[in-house]
């Protein structure tokens, strides 16, 4: 809880990536680290609640719009799907992508579409 009883959307550890990364990518990275589908669904719900981002020394509390997060997730999946069908080095590295991560990302896309769009 924050001042005035506002709840903040999503908590992401700051040590995941120190470089400037788009908000939606940071949220997706956090969601993809969660093994439990029920917990991931709760965090997705939290991430799509309105609220301004808040950064603390140890955590970031982030939120975004459903369509914006969906576009980011679909962009990653489209790049993955397109690259794995090519004979380039990028295509070969797509084969090495963790299938669990891709499955989770597809589940997140389905959840966003079913619940918010």
Which sign does the torsion angle of CA 22, 25, 26, 27 carry?
positive
How far apart are alpha carbons 51 and 27 in whole angstroms?
A: 14
Tens digits of residue pLDDT in 84-99: 777 666 656 665 678 8
Mind listing the pLDDT tens digit for each residue in 46-101?
999 887 777 778 877 888 999 999 999 999 898 888 877 776 666 566 656 788 88
Global pTM?
Answer: 0.71
The full set of domain ranges for the chain reads 3-116
DSSP letter assigned to residue 33: T
| CA-to-CA separations, 13 to 8, 29, 62, 112, in angstroms, rounded | 14, 10, 11, 23
What does the alpha-carbon distance between residue 117 and residue 32 come to, in Å, rounded to a whole number? 21
């Amino acid at each position: 809880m924050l001042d005035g009883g506002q709840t903040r959307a999503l908590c992401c550890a700051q040590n995941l990536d120190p470089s400037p990364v788009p908000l939606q990518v940071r949220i997706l990275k956090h969601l993809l680290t969660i093994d439990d589908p029920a917990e991931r669904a709760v965090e997705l719900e939290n991430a799509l609640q309105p609220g301004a981002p808040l950064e603390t020394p140890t955590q970031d509390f982030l939120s975004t719009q459903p369509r914006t997060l969906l576009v980011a997730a679909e962009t990653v999946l489209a790049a993955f799907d397109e690259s794995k069908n090519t004979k380039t080095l990028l295509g070969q590295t797509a084969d090495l992508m963790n299938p669990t991560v891709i499955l989770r990302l597809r589940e997140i896309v389905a959840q966003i579409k079913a619940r918010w769009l």
